[in-house]
Structure 1
Amino acid sequence: MGADSSGPGGQQAGRAQEVRRGAAVPEGRLSALAERASWRLLFDYLRPHRGTLALGAVLALIGSAAGLAMPLLAKSVIETFGTGRTMLGPVLLLCGAVLAGSIISAVGSFVLERMGEGIVFGARTRLVDRILRLRVAEVDRLKPGDLLSRVTADTTLLRAVCTDALVTAVGSVFMFAGAAVLMAVMDVVLLLITLGVVASVGLVNALILPRIRKASTLAQVALGEMGSALDRALQAFRTVKASGAEHREIEVVSAAARQARDRGVTASAWQSAAGVSAWMSVQLAFLAVLGVGGARVADGSMAIASLIAFLLYLFYLVAPIGQLVQSFTQLQNGLAAITRIREIEELPGEPTVAALRADGPPVGVTFEDVVFRYGDDRPIVHDGVSFEVRAGGLSALVGPSGAGKSTVFALLERFYSPQSGNITMSGRDIRDWDLAELRAAVGYVEQDAPVLDGTLRENLTFAAPDATEAEVRHSLARTKLDDLVARLPEGLETQVGHRGVLLSGGERQRVAIARALLRRPRLLLLDEATSQLDAVNELRLREVIAEVATDTTVLVIAHRLSTVTGADRIIVMESGRVRATGTHAELLADDDLYRELATTQFLATATP
C-alpha cells in the first residue's frame, strides 16, 4: 500500500521519496532541496495565522515609527535650552511618543505571543496526527524518546521563529531604514562611517550564522537521544530495580545528558559570538561617530543638538542590527527544529482507520510462498512460507523462538508488506481489502497485551466505542473477568493505572482478549494469549477460545503446547519456513521437532 499523501506533508513526502530513489543527487542540491522544504513547512504553519501575523507586524512598525520620532523630539527639547522658549510642548510630545510607542508595542507583543501559542498548538496536533498515522514499520525503527522530543521541544522553538524572529526582523529592517534616511538628512559623512563599521561586522556574522544552524541541529538531536535513554529505563523500571542496575542506567542517561549539554554549549558559544559581534558594532560605531562628530562640533560645522540626535539615531540604526542577529540566530534554531519535524512529516503514512466492527462469517487465510525481511540489510524472516487456515475453528502456529510466527500476524494486519508471495483472506488478496475493513475483520491480541492508562471500561471499548452495556458484560463473562469487576472499588470505572499496573499479568491479557472480542472479529489472532495465566484461568480461557472458534476463525501463537492440543490444525514453523502441519496426534507421530517440543514441555510440567 502506498504512502498517504493527502495530508499537508504529502507533497514533501513525495519529493523526499524521489530524492531517496535518486542516488546521484549532488549533496549541494540535496541540501538546497531540504532548505526549501523546511521553509515551505514553516510557511504552512504560518498560513492559518496570516491575519494575526499582519496585525502584529503593523503594530510593530507603528511602535518603531514612534521610536524613530523620539530623537527628533529630543533634539527639539535640547534646542530650547537658553532660548527662553517653553519646553512644555516638546516635552509633552516626547512623553506622548514614549507612552504611545510602549502601549502599541505591548499590544503587538501580546498579539504575536498569542499567535505563537496557536502555531505551537497547530504544529503539535499536526505532528501527533502524522505520527499516529505512520506505518508500523516506521514507528518500530524510531525511538519513543526522540519522537517525544520532536513533539515537545522542537515545536516549542517554532514560537520564537514565528514571533520574535520574523516580526522582529521586519521591525528591525524598518527601524534600520528609517534611521538611515534620517541620519542621511542630518549628516551623510557620519552615516557612511557608521555603515562602514556595521558592514565589517556583518561579514563576520555571515560566517557565524550557518554554524549556529548546524550546532543547534546537533543539540536538538542529542536532546532526543537523552529522552530515548530515559524512556528505555522507565519502560523497564521494575527490571532495572530488580537487577540493581540503577547506577548503570543513571550513567547511560547521564552520558546522553552530557552529550546534550556539550552540544548545547557549542550552540550557545556560536550564538554568543554572534551577539558579541553585534555589540561590538554598536561600540565601534559610537566611538567613530563621537570622535568625528565631536571634531565637527568643535569647528562649528555641526550643532551639538544635531550630534546628540545623530548619536541617538546611531543606536536606532545599530540596535536593529543586534536584533537582526538575534532573529537570524532564532531562525537557525527554528529551521533546525523544522528540519526534525519535517523528517517525521515526510515518512510514509497510511490512512486513518476508524474503529469499525466486523460483520460476516469467519474468514480463511492462505499464505503462498511468502518471502519477507524487515529491511534490505536484515536477515530473511519468511523464506517461502506457505500454509492454509480454514474458515472457522482453531488453528495454531508453534515452533522455536525466531521461527517467524509473530511476523505472520504483522503481515496479516498489513503492518508490513512481504517482498514477494501472496496472502489472501477469504480468497481476496489482503492488499485489495480496504484497510479499515481489514482491521475491523481481524481481532489482534499482542503478546504484551497492552492496557492503556484510563478506566477498565475505556480499555474494553477502545476498539468498539459504540459497544452496549450488555455486550461489555457478555465479553467480561466470556473472559472470566466478571469476578474482577465485582472486586474493583468502582467496577468498570476503576482506573487501571499506567500500562495497567494495577492489574495482574493474567488480568491484562484477559482484558486485551475481551477488548478484541467486543469488535466481533471474523479472524481472531492471539499471540501467546495464555502465557501469563495460571492453570485454572488457562483452562477457562481455553474453553472461551474453543467457544469463540465455533463462529470465528481463531489463529493462536503458542509456546505452551497445552493450550493448542485440541486445535483443528497446528502449523509448525522453523527458521522462516513451515516444516509440518497436522493435528496434535499426527504431529507427535510424524514430526521430530514437534515431538521434541511436546516431550520437553510435558517433562518440565512434571518436574517439581
Structure 2
Amino acid sequence: MDVPADDDPFEEQRARTANPMRRLFAEYGRDRSGLFGIGVVASLLARMLDLLPPLLLGVAVDAIFLDEGPFALPLVPQAWLPTDPEAQFWLIVGIVLFSFLGGAGLHWVRNWGWNRFAQYVQHAIRTDTYDAMQRLNMTFFADKQTGEMMSVLSNDVNRLERFLNDGLNAAFRLGVMVVGIAALLLWMNPQLAVVALLPVPLIAVFTYRFVDTIQPKYAEVRSTVGQVNSRLENNLGGIQVIKTSNTEGYEADRVEEVSGDYFDANWDAIETRIKFFPGLRVLAGIGFALTFTIGGLWVFRGEGPWIFTGTLRPGEFVSFILYTQRFIWPMAQFGQIINMYQRAYASAARIFGLMDETAGIDESPDAEELVVADGRVEYDDVTFGYEDEPILDGVSFTAEGGDTLALVGPTGAGKSTALKLLLRMYDVDGGAIRVDGTDVRDVTLASLRDAIGYVSQETFLFYGTVRENITYGTFDASDEDVRAAAEAAEAHEFVSNLPDGYDTMVGERGVKLSGGQRQRLAIARAMLKDPDILILDEATSDVDTETEMLIQRSLDRLTADRTTFVIAHRLSTVKDADTIVVLDDGEVAERGTHEDLLAADGLYASLWGVQAGEIDDLPEEFVERATRRGARTDVDGGELPSSSTAGSGDADD
C-alpha cells in the first residue's frame, strides 16, 4: 500500500520526542567524552595559534618596518624581547612558523578526536536503533515499509554522524574564532571594534528566522526520502512480478511520482537556504566595508573621524582588518552550521522517536525461564483482533504433549494468527495460552521462542552459505550435526550436488535455490534446533507432489516425540494428525480425528470434498458462505499485517 506523499510514517514518533539533540549528547556522547575533550582542547589551542600571525604582522609593520611604535607582544615580558630590529624580525618569523607548524599538528589531533567521537556515536546509535526496532511487535512492522525503516537506520544515522563530525567541529572552531577575535579587537581598539561587531545582532536575528522557517521543511524532506526508499525497495523486491506483468512503465511512473515529491520538498528547503546565505554575506560585507572605511580614514587623516578619538597606527589597522575579515566570514558560516543542525535535529527526532516506540509485547519483571516437561499446550478462551478487526473469538483447544494438532479452515479463519499468539508475536486480548500449565506471558520471551521451532510457508533464507542458513539460531552446531539435520530433512543429497556443497552461497533470500530446496533447508534448521514444540505453517503448499513427498518424510521425522501444530489447506497432509481443529470466522467450528470429522459431515467434510473434486455434491450453504468469505477477504484482508511488510506469513489465515 502506498504512503501518501504528505504523510510522514514516523510523524507520531517524531512529535513526541523532546530535545533530541540534548538527548543525543547525554546518552551517547557521555561515554566518549574523552574523545570529545581531545577535539575541544586541540581545537582551542589550534585556533589560538591561528590568531597569532595577523597580530604579529601588525607589530612587525609598526615596530620594525615603520618604527611607529614599541616592539611588544601580548603576555610576554618586555625584558625577554630583543632590541635589535633584525633580531625582532627573525623572532616574528620564528613565532609565525611555529604557529603554522603547531597549528597543523593540533588540527590533525582535533580532526582525529572529532572524527573518532562521531564514528563511535554513529556506530552506537545505529546498533541501538536496530536493536530497538527488531524488538517491536509485528503490528508496528505492518504499518511501516522496509524502505522507510532503512531510511532511519541509514540516512538519518549518517546525517547525525556528519553533523557531529563536520557541523559540531565547525561550530566549536568558529565559536573560538569569533570569541577570540572579538576579544582581540576590543583589546586593540574598542571604538573600531564596536563598528566591526555591529552586524552581529542582525546576523543573529536573520539566523533565528532561518531556523524557524527551515525546520519543518527538513522534516518534510526526511519523510519524502523514506517514501522514495520504500518505493525502490518494494519494486526491486518485486522485480519478477513487474517483468512478468509488463508494468515497467507503470512502476517507472510511480517512482517518478515519489521522486518528484522528494524533489519538491528538497527544492523548497534549498530555495530557503540559498536565499539565506547570500543575505548573511551581505550583512557581513556591509560590516567589513564599514570597518575598512572608518579605519582607513582614521589612518589616512592621522586622527579619528567623526566621533572617534585617539590614534590608529597602520600596523594596527592591518591586523584589525585581517581579524575583522576572519570574524565576519565565520559569522556568515554559522548559517551553514545551523543548516546542518536542523537536518540533524529532524533525523535525531525520528531516531529517538523510533527507539522510544513501545514494544507492545511486555515481558514481566518476574518472568521465569520456560522449562518444557510434557509439552502440553492449552488455548483457553482466547480472543484477539488487529486494531478494530476481530480475528479470534473464544478459541479453546488443547494439544497434549507429543501429539500433532492440525488447524484447518477457510482463508481468513485465524489459523496463522492463533499460532503467532503462542510465539507471542502478538499478545491475546482475552483468555490465556499455557504451556505445561504456565501462561506464556509469565515466561521470558527468549526461553519461550527458544522452545518453539517454526517452519513457515514462505521460507526466508539469509544471504550467505547453506551452512550459515541451517545453523541460524544454533550457531555452535558442529559440521556433523549440520549434516545429520540436512539428511533428516532430505536436503543433504541436493546440497552435496551444489557447486560448493554446504559452503555454496544461496543468494539474496535464497534465490539460487528452488522452493522445495529452500523449504528443506528450513526444516533442517528446525531439526538442528530440536525444539520441544513445533509449528508447521503450510510447510508443503508451494511445492510439487514429488517434492512434497520428500518434505513430508522429513516432517514425519521432525514431528516425532514432540508437540506439533500444523496449519494446512491441503488436508491430505494432516489426515493422520491426533487432533484436527477446524476454525471458521475466528471460532472453533469442529474438532476431532479425520474419520470423526468426515462422519460429522460438517465444514471439514465439505473442505475435504472440495479437494477431492466433489464440488457438485457440496451443500449450497457452504458455497454461499465461501462466496461471502471471499468478498470479505478482498475488502478486509489488506488491513491486516502482511508477509511482505511484516514477515508474518499469511496473517489473515
Which TM-score band (shorter chain)? 0.7 to 0.9
In structure 2, runs of 5+ residues without a counterpart are 1-9, 68-83, 304-311, 364-368, 617-653
CA distance in 1: counterparts of 2:478 and 2:111, whole angstroms: 51
C-alpha deviation, 1:358, in angstroms: 9.6
- Are the equivalent residues in 2 in contact too, given 1:223–1:260 (CA < 8 A)? yes
- Are the equivalent residues in 2 in contact too, given 1:212–1:333 (CA < 8 A)? no
1:133 match: 135
Query: Structure 1, residues 150-178: CA drift from partner, whole Å, max 9, x if none?
Result: 11111111223223333332332222222
C-alpha deviation, 1:360, in angstroms: 5.2
C-alpha deviation, 1:270, in angstroms: 2.9
Equivalent runs, 1:68-467 vs 2, <5 Å = 68-79=51-62, 80-83=64-67, 85-86=85-86, 87-301=89-303, 302-349=312-359, 361-375=373-387, 378-467=388-477
Question: Residues 290 and 331 from structure 1, CA distance in 2 versus in 1: closer, same or farther, beyond 3 angstroms?
Answer: same
CA distance in 2: counterparts of 1:47 and 1:199, whole angstroms: 33
**Number of positions where the alignment pairs a residue of Structure 1 with one of Structure 2:** 573
CA distance in 1: counterparts of 2:50 and 2:555, whole angstroms: 78
Question: Residues 483 and 163 from structure 1, CA distance in 2 versus in 1: closer, same or farther, beyond 3 angstroms?
Answer: closer
- Are the equivalent residues in 2 in contact too, given 1:372–1:419 (CA < 8 A)? yes
- Are the equivalent residues in 2 in contact too, given 1:60–1:105 (CA < 8 A)? yes
- Are the equivalent residues in 1 in contact too, given 2:575–2:594 (CA < 8 A)? yes
Amino acid aligned to 2:61: I
Determine helix, strand or coil for the equivalent of 2:391: strand
Equivalent runs, 1:580-595 vs 2, <5 Å = 580-595=590-605
Determine helix, strand or coil for the equivalent of 2:534: strand
CA distance in 1: counterparts of 2:327 and 2:479, whole angstroms: 72
- Are the equivalent residues in 2 in contact too, given 1:210–1:332 (CA < 8 A)? no
CA distance in 2: counterparts of 1:469 and 1:215, whole angstroms: 55
- Are the equivalent residues in 1 in contact too, given 2:453–2:531 (CA < 8 A)? yes
Determine helix, strand or coil for the equivalent of 1:372: strand
C-alpha deviation, 1:48, in angstroms: 2.2
C-alpha deviation, 1:88, in angstroms: 4.3
Determine helix, strand or coil for the equivalent of 1:467: coil
- Are the equivalent residues in 2 in contact too, given 1:45–1:122 (CA < 8 A)? yes
Query: Structure 1, residues 448-468: CA drift from partner, whole Å, max 9, x if none?
Result: 011111111111111222334
2:518 match: 508
Does 201-210 or 541-550 show the bigger shift? Answer: 541-550
CA distance in 2: counterparts of 1:103 and 1:467, whole angstroms: 51
Query: Structure 1, residues 508-543: CA drift from partner, whole Å, max 9, x if none?
Result: 112112211221122110010011222233234334
CA distance in 1: counterparts of 2:527 and 2:373, whole angstroms: 15
CA distance in 1: counterparts of 2:471 and 2:370, whole angstroms: 14
C-alpha deviation, 1:116, in angstroms: 2.0
Determine helix, strand or coil for the equivalent of 1:105: helix
CA distance in 1: counterparts of 2:528 and 2:106, whole angstroms: 59
Are positions 1:484 and 2:494 aligned together?
yes
CA distance in 2: counterparts of 1:158 and 1:588, whole angstroms: 64
C-alpha deviation, 1:362, in angstroms: 4.7
| Match among 34, 47, 61 for residue 44 of structure 2 | 61
CA distance in 1: counterparts of 2:321 and 2:299, whole angstroms: 13
Does 195-204 or 135-144 show the bigger shift? Answer: 135-144
C-alpha deviation, 1:499, in angstroms: 0.7
2:620 match: none
2:582 match: 572
CA distance in 2: counterparts of 1:514 and 1:304, whole angstroms: 86
CA distance in 1: counterparts of 2:38 and 2:204, whole angstroms: 30
C-alpha deviation, 1:595, in angstroms: 2.3
Question: Residues 42 and 89 from structure 1, CA distance in 2 versus in 1: closer, same or farther, beyond 3 angstroms?
Answer: closer
Determine helix, strand or coil for the equivalent of 2:341: helix
Question: Residues 276 and 472 from structure 1, CA distance in 2 versus in 1: closer, same or farther, beyond 3 angstroms?
Answer: same
CA distance in 2: counterparts of 1:256 and 1:145, whole angstroms: 13
CA distance in 2: counterparts of 1:238 and 1:504, whole angstroms: 15
CA distance in 2: counterparts of 1:72 and 1:220, whole angstroms: 46
Query: Structure 1, residues 233-271: CA drift from partner, whole Å, max 9, x if none?
Result: 122221111111222222222322222222222222333
Amino acid aligned to 1:158: L
Question: Residues 108 and 182 from structure 1, CA distance in 2 versus in 1: closer, same or farther, beyond 3 angstroms?
Answer: same
| Match among 18, 27, 30 for residue 35 of structure 1 | 18
C-alpha deviation, 1:591, in angstroms: 4.4
- Are the equivalent residues in 2 in contact too, given 1:396–1:569 (CA < 8 A)? yes
Question: Residues 472 and 138 from structure 1, CA distance in 2 versus in 1: closer, same or farther, beyond 3 angstroms?
Answer: same
CA distance in 2: counterparts of 1:141 and 1:595, whole angstroms: 38
Query: Structure 1, residues 100-136: CA drift from partner, whole Å, max 9, x if none?
Result: 3334223322332233223222222222222233333
In structure 1, runs of 5+ residues without a counterpart are 1-15, 21-29
Are positions 1:494 and 2:495 aligned together?
no
CA distance in 2: counterparts of 1:38 and 1:270, whole angstroms: 23
- Are the equivalent residues in 2 in contact too, given 1:133–1:351 (CA < 8 A)? no
- Are the equivalent residues in 1 in contact too, given 2:38–2:109 (CA < 8 A)? no
Does 85-94 or 178-187 show the bigger shift? Answer: 85-94
Question: Residues 307 and 548 from structure 1, CA distance in 2 versus in 1: closer, same or farther, beyond 3 angstroms?
Answer: closer
Does 563-572 or 296-305 show the bigger shift? Answer: 296-305
1:10 match: none
1:26 match: none
Question: Residues 95 and 434 from structure 1, CA distance in 2 versus in 1: closer, same or farther, beyond 3 angstroms?
Answer: closer
C-alpha deviation, 1:390, in angstroms: 2.3
User: How high is the TM-score relative to the length of structure 2?
Assistant: 0.82
Are positions 1:542 and 2:552 aligned together?
yes
CA distance in 2: counterparts of 1:307 and 1:230, whole angstroms: 59
Query: Structure 1, residues 294-321: CA drift from partner, whole Å, max 9, x if none?
Result: 3322331233332222111212322331
C-alpha deviation, 1:557, in angstroms: 0.6
Larger Rg: 2
